[in-house]
Chains A and B, each alone.
Chain A
């Protein structure tokens, strides 16, 4: 069973998700992101979609006609903001906080934009591709 994939722009995101909700998509299962900084040969985007550095991936599920739909939203590096889905599905709250924490994507209108996994005073966003693995001085208040 393959999931259907929709490419939507940032402006259409809220509208599309609201439309899907009326169609019977009862839950947002997952909100995550991908940093395509080091993936130059991306070929899986349709022609009309211009690739950007970040891609927000929203997975919704319908129970009446069991199936998932995945929304892929291109988010540019110089303006990493997207509208929050919190008003439509409150369950995206923690998931969006995680994406904001790990990728530095700002969710406009999010009720609690604090960090969720990293310490509140952490600098940087670990899942970005330019955030190196290992050899990072531990950033805790007590060690400063």
Chain B
């Protein structure tokens, strides 16, 4: 796989696909890019319906064909990693949950896992399984969002309505459990914020009973539809060697036929106790990436059914008074409980000095949290390795030589969330 031949191929394509000119370097742009009569450098975004937020692309065009290109990002940068250095470990999830707003629970999970690794904390089994339940629900809602926006970008506008409708049902369930549709702040260091509400089993069952039929409708509407296939098949092709060289993870890597999923290959939570398949593609094109996400919803449904059976009883967070706030009722009767409550919410809890990297498989790929503690109650440094940020680097390679209309399909198939790219 790492043979010199493929390395050369990767490099050749890399050299010719990326437009490495600074966005404010007008002179070089004029001198170097677009030298022939028919070529020009075109700007796409930062506000464009297909850019999923504020992604800007500099495209070097030869007629209608894309030659080199460069994604220009940073329009949503709000310094969240800097902000994290001022928030306690208990406040941290509130911050990171706003990065990848389509799958917020995964950022919370990575953050909490990093904190727990520094604390040397083992979360109770029920908390672990609740986390898995939430993550798989969130994976479903995120992939449904992809189905909706992908359909819309390609021109299957009715798909937007259907994708949005199913996603709303998943979000309604998340709201029942966490209290919020998005930005849940539910997974916290030490466990989760609250136990599952009464009747959660029925609600999850209702969802996973209803979804498969809806997914079959998606198949009827999209998968077998000639126009849709024509727009996606053979478009935006990338191979395994290129993906690995570019650090790409998640559905894009799997679309090349390379089975790599952290849930299976480096299990965290209790993923080694559930049965599921890693979905892979064959050609590494936009259609494979669509099909993988659609089938990952089905796999998540399988996992959810097993979680329903295996959900253990017990605590939903650790009973460590230094980390977990006491129950509200205890505060009225116990002086210690009041002190702990006060200390945790004013000062936070201290985390031993050290550095750690924790990673989870988000719907977009490996989402990692690198955390450095200096022994105080706030992280010394908190860095989120956002999969969208790294995956965006594939755009120039996928778009080169394609039509500008295909660029829209390709951006959509990468499924970037700009909040996570810019942080």
Contacts and interface: CB of A to CB of B under 8 A. Distances in A.
A47 interface: no
B313 interface: no
A17 interface: no
Interface in B382-420: 383, 385, 389-390, 392-393
B30 interface: no
Interface stretch (B43-51, B133-141, B166-174, B370-378): B370-378
A120 B393 contact: no
A90 B249 CA distance: 14
B247 A91 contact: yes
Interface stretch (B91-99, B124-132, B338-346, B350-358): B350-358
B247 A89 contact: yes
A127 B74 contact: no
B20 A34 contact: no
Interface stretch (A8-16, A62-70, A75-83): A62-70
Interface string B69-101: 000011001010111011000000000000000
Given A34-B381, A68-B357, A27 B370 contact: no
Given A30-B385, A89-B247, A111 B74 contact: no
Contacts of B248: 27, 91
A29 B385 contact: yes
Interface in B211-259: 244-249
A93 B70 CA distance: 12
Contact of A41 (B1, B20, B375): B375
A114 B372 contact: no
Contacts of A68: 357, 359
Contacts of A43: 353
B11 interface: yes
B24 A90 contact: no
A95 interface: yes
Contacts of A123: none
Interface residues of B, number: 51
A132 to B, nearest CB: 10
Contact of A126 (B1, B25, B82, B393): B82
Given A41-B353, A133-B86, A117 B393 contact: no
Contacts of A133: 82-83, 85-86
B22 A26 contact: no
A44 B371 CA distance: 14
B79 A126 contact: yes
Contact of A27 (B10, B247, B266): B247
Interface in B249-301: 249, 260, 265-266
Contacts of A32: 370, 383, 385
A59 B245 contact: no
B336 interface: no
Given A34-B381, A126-B82, A66 B370 contact: no
Contact of A29 (B21, B85, B366): B366
A136 B266 CA distance: 43
Nearest to A111: B20
Contacts of B21: 112
B108 interface: no
A107 to B, nearest CB: 13
Nearest to A70: B357
B82 A44 contact: no
A119 interface: yes
B357 A39 contact: no
A112 B20 contact: yes
Contact of B23 (A42, A98, A114): A114
A6 B390 CA distance: 23
Contacts of B164: none
Contacts of B10: 90
B53 to A, nearest CB: 14
A43 B219 CA distance: 57
A118 B368 contact: no
Contact of A120 (B22, B260, B389): B22
B14 interface: yes
A21 interface: yes
A98 B74 CA distance: 10
A20 to B, nearest CB: 11
Given A27-B244, A34-B380, A41-B375, A116 B74 contact: yes
10 contacts: A21-B2, A27-B245, A30-B368, A30-B383, A41-B375, A59-B370, A68-B357, A90-B246, A94-B392, A117-B423
Interface of A: 1, 3, 21-22, 24, 26-30, 32, 34-35, 38-39, 41-44, 57, 59, 61, 63, 66-68, 70, 89-95, 98, 102, 111-112, 114-121, 126-127, 131, 133
Given A30-B383, A41-B374, A93-B393, 11 more contacts: A27-B245, A29-B359, A32-B383, A39-B372, A44-B354, A61-B366, A90-B245, A91-B248, A94-B390, A117-B422, A126-B82
